[in-house]
Structure 1
Amino acid sequence: MQKDIKYDVIIIGGSYAGLSAAMTLGRAVRNVLVIDHGKPCNRSTPHSHNFITHDGEEPLMIAEKARQQVKQYSTIEFLNAEVVEAKQAADSFQIKTQEGNTYSCKKLLFTTGLKDILPDISGFEACWGKSILHCPYCHGYEVRQQRTGILANGDIGFELMKLISNWTRDLVLFTNGPATLNSDQLKLAAKYNIPVIEKPIVSIEHEEGYLQHIRFADQSKYELKALYARPAFEQHSPLLASLGCELTEQGLVKVDMFQRTNVNGIYAAGDNSSMRTVSMAVSTGTMAGIVINKELIDEQFM
């Protein structure tokens, strides 16, 4: 049966940023619906780091603990569903789920994260988040001083090479084809004894997601313990674009310092609009909750 329920705020996405915003709004006694389909982008990562008081814990356990705490606030509701449509009306937003139920709200917050577009290399997906890493601040300490690779090219490869050299000097750059670093960048790589290997990669050999070797098209291989990569990504939710929200050149949702998008009444927080760390997701979610509540108050007193 179709429903039509109205809320102060609907949060699409129920991981760290969404839960942080929900707690802030629950403590402000706002009627909030959190809609989530249970597929966080870090679901393959076994441990979360660099998040004070939770260092080394399982990401899913952190989120579950947060969810149980948020559920203590009686004005917060949770819905396990996928949002397939969002429309803006004169003074509200209408949300439709895959089941055909509709919900409306005064303010809309997207904490929907990003979708990684992984390279077509056998074994890459199995290792992603375990031994193929995105962020040295999240995972670099655990693989410090170990033989480490970087899968990148050009300026991105060069900047990652400099960054990761802080955690290990046993470092190699894989460009997976002809290198596009400039001559000065190649000279610096040589100066710091960082090999640049241009051979095409055909597979990542691993044991249960933990990298053993990189195998090349010529069937030679290179032993590694960890590999950093920055694969392409896209917004997990296409609804942001359908509502007219602008993106940055990097593909993130364009927000101001208060997590407001260019569309009045729509906000974004977490990975979809900022650095991909748990602590940043929590921080931006809290900011969004505070700002949304303040703007609801200001509108009431107009």
Structure 2
Amino acid sequence: MENQFDVIIVGGSYAGLSAAMSLGRSLRKVLVIDSGKPCNIQTPHSHNFLTQDGKTPKEISTIAKGQVKKYATVEFCDGLAMQGKKTENGFEISTRRGEIFEAKKLIFATGIVDEVPNIKGFWDCWGISLIHCPYCHGYEFKNKKTGIIANGERGFHISSLVNNLTDDLTILTRGKADFTEEQFQKLEKNNIKIIETEIDEIQHQNGNIETLILSDGEKLDFDAVYGAFHFKQHSDIPGSLGCEFTENGHIKIDNKQNTTVPGVYACGDNSCAMRSVANAAYTGNLTGAMVNMDLTNEGF
């Protein structure tokens, strides 16, 4: 494999593959570096993506990668990007194996990592019946007994959306509830219960939630539980290059997917609060087009 490219894309899930396809169709020489660890790795089905509704995330990404591989100017590197630096002609990315690649432009489609609570059974259920998005998974749990592990603005926001999907809704704040008086009133008006006790364990069968055991010994049965948590960037490289971040921790971008570092772009979950396969594919497609336009303007 050569080490000189027009564009290096760090991250080869939906956003990265979509950007690669857009650039490959413009005959740009592209390298996609991917570690193969998407955040939805154990999610059984993906939804709310037209033509792909109900397929597994793996099915969608396998089809996508197969289609992108048909473009001769797109190459893949299975590995973890570890470092990045600015060079005289663009950028340099090095991998864990010591490979070094150079490109005129960089696209980060690296996603995020949820900072989830240390609750026994949590990870076994995460993405299966312990879910993050009403749009992605809510319909499958409509009219079910549902919990929300969240507090404050996050908890209030999710409860307002999920309230349309079920009449049996409980917010588990894992500490003193942090809502405004107006929010408390709205939650009460909609018969949404609030429990402040800490959660010790999630009992389940193959990731399907059955019971939450609280620290005081109380047991609560649920069919599904939403979780809203803080996150961190999956990759440290954008920050090391000088990219700025929003208050919420996303990579700051403009409406053309530019970061605050010229020549560096971002797409997908790392730079957008709307976490869905469809949105990742869209932002990746847009980013590819914007990068191609910038390369065109510089070289034409």
Q: TM-score, normalised by structure 2?
A: 0.97
Counterpart of 2:43? 45
Partner of 1:123: 121
Q: Show CA shifts across 1:258-296 (max 9, x none).
A: 111010100001110111100110001011110111111
Q: CA deviation at 1:130?
A: 0.4
Instruction: Give me the whole-angstrom Cα distance separating, in 2, the residues matched to 1:15 and 1:258.
Output: 20
> 2:278 — aligned with what?
279
SS at match of 2:110: coil
Secondary structure at the aligned position of 1:252 is classed as coil
1:215 paired residue among 207, 213, 216: 213
The offset of 1:43, in angstroms, is: 0.5
SS at 1:276's partner residue?
coil
Matches of 1:161 and 1:97, distance apart in 2: 42
Q: How far has the Cα of 1:178 moved from its partner? A: 1.5
**Following TM superposition, by how much is the alpha carbon of 1:92 offset from its aligned partner in structure 2, in angstroms?**
1.1
Contact 1:4–1:104, Cα closer than 8 Å, also in 2: no
TM alignment of 1:165-204, pairs within 5 A: 165-204=163-202
Any idea what SS the aligned residue of 1:272 has? helix
* Matching residue's letter, 2:40: N
Separation in 1, partners of 2:177, 2:293: 51
Q: 1:94 aligns with which of 92, 95, 101?
A: 92
Question: Which residues of 2 match residues 1-302 of structure 1 at below 5 A?
Answer: 5-274=3-272, 275-301=274-300
Q: Secondary structure at the match of 1:240?
A: helix
1:27 alignment partner AA: R
CA distance in 1, matches of 2:28, 2:66: 18
Q: What CA distance in whole angstroms lies between the structure 2 residues aligned with 1:88 and 1:176?
A: 44
What TM-score does the superposition give when structure 1 sets the normalisation length? 0.97
1:99 deviates by 1.2
Deviation for aligned residue 1:168: 0.8
Quote the offset at 1:156 in angstroms.
1.9
Q: How far apart are residue 10 of structure 1 and its match?
A: 0.5
Q: Give 1:19 shift.
A: 0.4
Does structure 2 retain, via aligned residues, the 8 Å contact 1:87–1:93?
yes
Report the 3-state secondary structure (helix = DSSP H, G, I; strand = E; otherwise coil) of the residue aligned with 2:158: helix
Supply the RMSD in Å over aligned alpha carbons: 1.1
Aligned residues: 299
Q: C-alpha distance in 2, partners of 1:104/1:25?
A: 17
Q: CA shift at 1:200, angstroms?
A: 1.4
Q: Extract unaligned runs of 5+ from structure 2.
A: none
2:123, 2:230 → 1: CA distance?
A: 13
1:4 CA displacement: 6.5
Gaps of 5+ in 1: none
Contact 2:143 2:168 in 1 (8 A): yes
Following the alignment from structure 2 to structure 1, what is the Cα–Cα distance between the partners of residues 287 and 181? 45
